[in-house]
Structures are given as C-alpha cells and as structure tokens.
Amino acid sequence: MAARRIGGIEDISLSLHNTLTGTVEPFVPLVEGQVSMYCCGPTVYLDQHLGNLRTYLFEDVLRRTLEDCGHRVRHVMNITDVGHLTDDGDEGEDKMIKSARTKGLSVEQIAEHYTEQFFRDCQALNITKPTVVCKATEHIADMIALIERLAERGHTYLAAGNVFYDISTFPNYGRMARLDLDELKAGARIEVDANKRGPHDFGLWFTRSKFERQAMLWDSPWGLGYPGWHIECSAMSMRYLGERFDIHCGGVDHIPVHHTNEIAQSDGATGEPSVRYWVHGEFLVIDGARMAKSGGNLATVSALVERGFEPLDYRYFCLGAHYRDQHTFSEQGIRAARSARRRLLDRVAELAELAGGAEPPGAEELAEGAWQAFRRHARDDLHMPRCLAVLWGLIKEPRVGAAAKLDVLRRMDRILAIGIEEAGSRSTELAPELRDLIEQRSCARTQRDFATADRIRDELATRGILLEDRPDGVRWRHTKGKSSPKL
C-alpha cells in the first residue's frame, strides 16, 4: 500500500483486492474525487439472513472508507422484486409466488414488505442507504433495450420462444471466475432448458415460463414474458453509472455465474470492460456450512434482538474478521462481540465524563498516530480486525488523555459505525433526578452516612445506573442487560 507525506501528514492511498486480477491493487477512480459503485441487492421474498447482511456490512465499510479518502460515492443497489428465481440451483417453484401463496399476499405485497424490512435491518446495522435504489420491476424497458443491443452484436439466439445468450460469442467468458467450462456443472444457477445450444448459455428473456403460473409478465419484442436474473444488474448499473464504472460488489457466491454473466452482458454490449474493480465478500458459515436460505440454517437481525442482542453487536462481530475470510457464526462468537462492544462503549462513556482536563505531554501526537495507523489498515483492503486492534490499543494507552482519545475514537467510528458517538454523549443524557440522587449519595458518604449511601446506590442500580467510587470522584454507567438464552 503506497503512502506519502504532505505537510508532515501521511497521505495513505487505498488498495483493494480485485477479483478480476486476483491481486490487491491501488484504487484509482475513473474520475478524480468521484467513485461509482454498484452492489447486488436482495431478492425480496424472505427476511435477509445474517449471511446476506455480512455482505452489505462490508460494502458499507468500503463506502465509508472511500468517503474517508475524500471521494464522493455514487452508490447504486438493485432490488430483485421479479419473481423468476427459485433456489440456489434454480430448481423447483418460483420463490416470490411460493412466499406470496404461503402468506396469503400478492407478489407485489411480498416484495414491498421484505424490501421495507431489509432497509429496517440496514438502518439498525448503521448501513448507509445507497444513493440510488432501483427495483427490477421498474426497469424492464432498460433490460429489453440491452437485450436488443446484445442481439444486434450477435450474442443472442431465440429458442422455443425464449432469448438466450450464446457464450461462445464472448471469448473471455468465465475469465474472472477462472472457470473450466468443460468441468463446470450445468444447471447451478443456470436456467435448465433443452432448447439451449450450449449448457452454459443463459436466459435473457422468457416467454415460455418454466413455472405454470408466472405472476409477473411484461410485453416485449419476443412476446409476453419476464427477464432472466442476470440482465437486471447489467441494465440498471449501466442506467445509473454509465457503461464504465469503478466498483462492483457482491458475495463470493455471485462470482461463478451471476457476475460472470453480467460481464458477458455488459462487456458484450459495449465491446469494452464495464467494471474496473470487482470486490467480493466471503461467506458467513454456521455449523461448518454456508448460511443460506436453501440450507435452513438462518439467523436474522430480529432473531438476535429477541435474544437480547443489539444489531450493532452483530456489526462488531463482522468487523472481527476480514471481509475476504469466511467467518463462523456461533453463540460464543456473538456473545464475545457483545461483551467487547459493551466494554468499549462503557469506556467511551467514562472518557466523555473525564474529558476537559489537560492532556499529558505528547498525547495529541500519540492519538494522531493511532488515527493514522487505523486509516492505514482500513485502506489496506479494509482490514477491520487490525483497525479494532488499534482502537483498543488507544483506549489502553496511559499517555493519552480522555479528550484526545475521545476525539480519535469518534473519527474511527465514522468507518466502524458501532455506536461510539452515541456512547460519548451518555453523560449529558442522565435524567436530572438521577443526578440529584448521585449528589445526595456523595453528600451522605462525605458525612459518613453509609446506610443512606448504600440505599441510594441500590435504588440507582434498580433504575439501570451503576456507580463506581474512585479517588477522583464517583463515576456512573448504564448497567448491562440480563444474559440472553442460547441461540
């Protein structure tokens, strides 16, 4: 990772792992100071599980890091509200129709409900809302136009009423995923159709549905039908970011087929590479298997909250592993994350109370050094575990005073977003009556009326305030909640 000094301050450049090349590369945007970023959004037929949300969390950290670098980020995310997917193998029933039938709602109502729930979960996790949120159902015309453009360039064929992409017309097909097409299993996330010329050709538009009662159909030059899964992301990314943009994000499960097919579509339509940096996050695993809707091993934000955890405990948990490493979800792991985050926020609240005194000699330089170390790790392919190590090192550093620590911790939280800013305001939020009780107890202790002091301490404890007597005075903090049942 390159770094240089400007006026005594280290200027740290950002490096990212580019799946396309398989290497960590310096990030240089197409337009200086501006970043165009597309992220594959949710398919809205169920609540998003924690594995899905881990991907959106790493994308949020990327966006926050880009903004810390001084870039203005145009962040686009799609919502897949077209009912054409089934399970991860693209077999069985239409997911949207199945969910609607199970709940007694229309497909449109299902999509609206789970879209709203997704953004509620994102808000609870401090995930910044994208600049543009685009629904597949509102961009059918863009998809049709892109399919027509591909047809003009000789990439498509019509078979039994359906339009397919002929991958033999795109020599670089599968290059990013390092695919050996002779060994690739036909059928995984690929529309199975006996009329296809090749097993890896994929559907762009269907007029003859593989489902008996397709709920969503649109007019097209090929007849009444619906789009294939992959075309929506190509069409909408080009609509809102242009034919070339900086970053495309998603989970590693998107690499072999979905993103491979996006490249064939977008690059095939323009004749040029559409995306400069492909960035992918690894799986969340549970009991040794990937967390997935099809696997039945799901956990959601709502389920965590019901068990006494805060959504930001899960954000902290995710920051404890590099985004390109698999991360194992367990009861022990999420409890440890909650415990660490509570200790952190309690310490931040204490620092807020102590801030205002004189700083030790050299404290500001040490604090600034911690901030620069934090930024170096953040900009070194988003290495959040090392960032957390720097954070805890600063908290424990005896040569830095409360005010300097608090200032840097708040800056760190612009990227971490784990509630440090809110914790730093706790001391000003205590109700006046509780402050009066603390003062009464201090007076009782001064008068050696320990019975009264103990009674007030117990009363405050029942109201969620824990007191700690120190040589420099009494300190208070919120008590921790009861332990949660097993997941």
Of the spans 10-19, 105-114, 213-222, 251-260, which averages the highest pLDDT? Answer: 251-260
Torsion of CA 297, 301, 304, 306, to 10 degrees: -120
Read off the pTM: 0.85
397 confidence band (pLDDT: 50, 70, 90): very high
* pLDDT band (50, 70, 90) for residue 293: low
At 222 the three-state DSSP class reads coil
Position 462 scores a pLDDT of 81
Domains of the chain: 3-281 (3.40.50.620), 306-427 (1.20.120.1910), 430-478 (no CATH)
Q: Ranked by mean pLDDT, which of 175-189, 346-360, 362-376 comes out on top?
A: 362-376
Residue 406 is which amino acid?
Answer: L
Q: pLDDT at residue 214 above 80?
A: no
Average pLDDT taken over every residue of the chain: 88
d(CA 294, CA 48): 12
What integer pLDDT is reported at residue 87 of this predicted model? 36
At residue 187 the predicted structure's pLDDT band, cuts being 50, 70 and 90, is: very low
Distances, alpha carbon 353 to alpha carbons 140, 359, 417, in Å: 56, 15, 21
**Distance from C-alpha of 130 to C-alpha of 63, rounded to nearest angstrom:** 10
Residue 188: pLDDT over 80: no
Classify residue 428 as exposed, middle or buried by CB count within 10 Å of its CB (0-12, 13-18, 19+).
Answer: exposed
| pLDDT for res 259 | 98
The dihedral of CA 285, 289, 294, 297: what is its sign?
negative
pLDDT above 70: percentage of residues in the chain: 85
Read off the pLDDT band of 486 (50, 70, 90).
very low
pLDDT of residue 79: 98
Looking at residue 486, its amino acid is K
- pLDDT score, position 81: 92
pLDDT given for residue 425 in this prediction: 72
Greater confidence (315 vs 458) lies with: 315
Q: Which residue has the higher pLDDT, 73 or 468?
A: 73
pLDDT above 90 coverage of the chain, percent: 69
The pLDDT-based confidence of 355 (bands split at 50, 70, 90) is confident
Q: Specify the residue for token string 């097409």.
A: 181
User: What per-residue confidence (pLDDT) applies to 1?
Assistant: 56
- Rounded CA-CA distance 111/108 in Å is 5
Q: Is the pLDDT score of 215 beyond 50?
A: yes
Cβ count within 10 A of residue 365? 12
The torsion of the CA quartet 13, 377, 69, 72, rounded to 10 degrees, works out to 120
